Amino acid sequence: MTKPVNGFSKLNKEEKINWLAKNYLNNNDAAISVLKQYWNEDQELQKLHDEFIENTVSNFYLPLGLAPNFLINGKYHVLPMAIEESSVVAAASKAAKFWGERGGFKATVLNTKKIGQVHFLFQGDPSKLDVFVTNIKPKLKEAVKPITRNMEKRGGGILDISLINKTDKLENYYQLFVNFDTRDSMGANFINSCLEKFAEVLQEEANKNEDFTKEEKDLKVIMSILSNYVPECTVKAEVSCPVDKLSEDPNMSGKEFAEKFIQAVRIAEIEPYRAVTHNKGVMNGIDAVVLATGNDFRAVEAGVHAYASRNGDYTSLTHAKIEDGIFKFWMEIPLALGTVGGLTSLHPLVKLALDILQRPTANELMEITAVAGLAQNFAALRSLITTGIQQGHMKMHLMNILNQNKATEIEKEEMVEYFTHHTITHSSVIEQLEKMRS
């Protein structure tokens, strides 16, 4: 049984690896080599990565792929996508090409409010608290001036502060609910710094407020933190085309395709088991762009799924209909993204990804990212209602299996040829590879 370790963070990288190898990897040299194999020779670059997080022992690579031909609001983009799953980039590229030939994607930012809360307990008269909060608002805003000055120069800042009474849900529980505009930054640090200052002022002012009783003066801040639920920081992505231009399959009419597609979306709208997988497909596109551009995919995931269940049931993020012979497919989602601050100026590949996207504003990145999600969902549904998902997936999977089994280039070529006419399964690939090798 391994003992707990003290002072692990104080060990240098080599010592951390040695400790790991000794205690968890049977002093396995090969395992140590794997970790070291991913160190970057460029010491400065490696140091940069080491310092992104704590206790770094190696780098963890994800492939960065490109999905070209995305026509969005009349302008072509190539999307950088960081993702480990095969087929996703290919599917995005295919959907981009398909919709590029049909007028492209339209995307519109609907609103850009970010939210933060100071959660506190107040034991006393709610109407007195109401008056108190109204009175101290100028003081709250004044106290954060050093933090908001720069943001205000860029046109952002605090939009409004309100008091929310939640005592019907939790005894004595109130919030300062604050709306922010953080312009091109995701704004987490900015928001949290403002909130912590608000909390300080709130408590201090309550303490010296002569209209309050002793209990009321003892207002207790529990925590101050931004919310990753941003239902008023949303973007709409959409495509449309005449129904008869929809199918590329001679065995399926455009109408038939549209009806089947709409039915597939309806199922995700009313069926949570399907909705989760359906939305996972949307997130394949979104997360890949969010990651490549150095944004916080956990925040985006948490916010998007909360939004998908905002009416009480978990449901599809995307919707589709036919109107006057036109097929329409669209999605509205919350996306709090930044193109300045955070990793955006630190990680060389993130900087490059933003260059590839022609240095978008946060709003433009919201539009591009939403389109990636819509395209991905279109591609997935198109496969599901026509050939089935496995055909495309397994083709890509074939390469993974061949690589895992160290197939040579010649073996790969022969195997790809063989499996154009045979069904790909893990065991059939291994069997055929063994046959070829013997």
Which residue numbers are catalytic? 85, 280, 296, 393
Instruction: Work out how close the CB of 333 gets to ligand MEV at its nearest, in angstroms, rounded to a whole number.
Output: 16
Strand arrangement of the beta sheet that strand 326-334 belongs to: 106-109, 234-242, 326-334, 318-323
Structure token digits, residue 97: 């090409």
CA distances from 266 to 112, 203, 262 (A): 29, 50, 6
Instruction: Work out how close the CB of 264 gets to ligand MEV at its nearest, in angstroms, rounded to a whole number.
Output: 8
Number of other CB atoms surrounding residue 185 within 10 Å: 22
Number of other CB atoms surrounding residue 222 within 10 Å: 11
CB-nearer residue toward ligand MEV: 77 or 278: 278
Structure token digits, residue 138: 């100028």
CB-nearer residue toward ligand MEV: 23 or 390: 390
CB-nearer residue toward ligand MEV: 35 or 396: 396
CB-nearer residue toward ligand MEV: 31 or 267: 267
Task: Name residue, tokens 């063994």.
Answer: 434
CA separation for the pair 377, 332 (Å, rounded): 13
Instruction: Work out how close the CB of 375 gets to ligand MEV at its nearest, in angstroms, rounded to a whole number.
Output: 13
Instruction: Work out how close the CB of 88 gets to ligand MEV at its nearest, in angstroms, rounded to a whole number.
Output: 7
Task: Name residue, tokens 């933003």.
Answer: 354
Q: Using alpha carbons only, what angle is made at residue 420 by residues 393 and 82, rounded to the nearest 5 degrees?
A: 30
Instruction: Work out how close the CB of 278 gets to ligand MEV at its nearest, in angstroms, rounded to a whole number.
Output: 5
Contact in structure between 191 and 145 (CB atoms under 8 Å): no
Q: Could you say which DSSP state residue 27 is in?
A: T
CB-nearer residue toward ligand MEV: 191 or 375: 375
What contacts 235, CB < 8 A, 6 or more positions away?
107, 108, 109, 110, 332, 333, 335, 366, 367, 369, 370
What contacts 137, CB < 8 A, 6 or more positions away?
161
Instruction: Work out how close the CB of 389 gets to ligand MEV at its nearest, in angstroms, rounded to a whole number.
Output: 5
Instruction: Work out how close the CB of 268 gets to ligand MEV at its nearest, in angstroms, rounded to a whole number.
Output: 8
Going by C-alpha positions, the residue among 133, 127, 184 that lies closest to residue 342 is 184
Tabulate helix, strand, coil % of the chain (nearest 5): 50, 20, 30
CA separation for the pair 322, 237 (Å, rounded): 17
CB-nearer residue toward ligand MEV: 59 or 425: 425
**Which residues, in sequence order, are bridge partners of residue 179?**
115, 160
Q: Which residues bind ligand MEV (CB under 6 A)?
A: 85, 277-278, 280-281, 284, 380, 384, 389
CB-nearer residue toward ligand MEV: 277 or 309: 277
Amino acid at 290: V
Q: Which residue is nearest to ligand MEV (CB)?
A: 281
